[in-house]
Amino acid sequence: MALRLGDLAPDFTAETSQGVIHFHEWLGDSWAVFFSHPRDYTPVCTTELGAVARIKDEFDKRNTKVIAVSVDPVDSHAGWIKDINETQDTTVNFPLIADPTKEIANLYDMIHPNASDTATVRTVFVIGPDKKIKLTLTYPASTGRNFAEILRVIDSLQLTANYSVSTPANWENGQDVIIVPAIATEDIPAKFPKGHTIIKPYLRTTPQPNL
């Protein structure tokens, strides 16, 4: 069965390019981006891993670890990482999980038989410190992921986890947010002292509260 939002992210032990990890233990009290690749030595994946390596400090700022998986063994990962570093002018600075038995891919429903019965699709999971799944995204093998969007979603998830707000369409960090309907209008000033705007009774906005 496919994992759904709010489900506990399955734990596992795996060999990676940075040694053996126990997933929940590795996660600790951090957020995580866990994402899959169809295979090593594939062109789109090479650009994706390079892109993540170049912005890893942005994930670090958000207390977010990144980890990737493909169905190839760890010795294959080692050779591919050299290619990524060379072609993408960066240094891969996060672990790549080896999953040659496809145990983890199947645990996370990363293999879609109608697309490929041997390789993972481009799946993304954002997992919270509570080990629960906060976001799932699935891309076809032909389309590289937009990691700026994934950072944007993490900003929204971390903000809305701590305040009674939602983020509107195309929201970027620093912009106004939406006060959730459960907050009565008369209670807004005490909860949101930066001010608010009533556009409609069900649509009230306020400056981002954690800035």
pLDDT tens for 1-44 read 689 999 999 999 999 999 999 999 999 999 999 999 888 999 99
**3-state class percentages of the chain: helix first, strand second, coil last, to nearest 5:** 30, 25, 45
Domains belonging to the chain, first-starting first, are: 13-145 (3.40.30.10), 163-206 (3.30.1020.10)
Set 45, 84, 96, 177: catalytic member: 45
Model's pTM, two decimal places? 0.92
| Cα-Cα end-to-end distance for the chain | 40
Bridge partners of residue 136, in order along the sequence: 125
pLDDT value of position 116: 57
pLDDT value of position 142: 85
Using pLDDT thresholds of 50, 70 and 90, give the confidence band for residue 154. Answer: very high
135: CB partners within 8 A, 6+ apart: 5, 124, 125, 126, 153, 157
Active-site annotation holds for 108? no
Tokens of 161: 């986890």
* DSSP single-letter state for residue 183: S
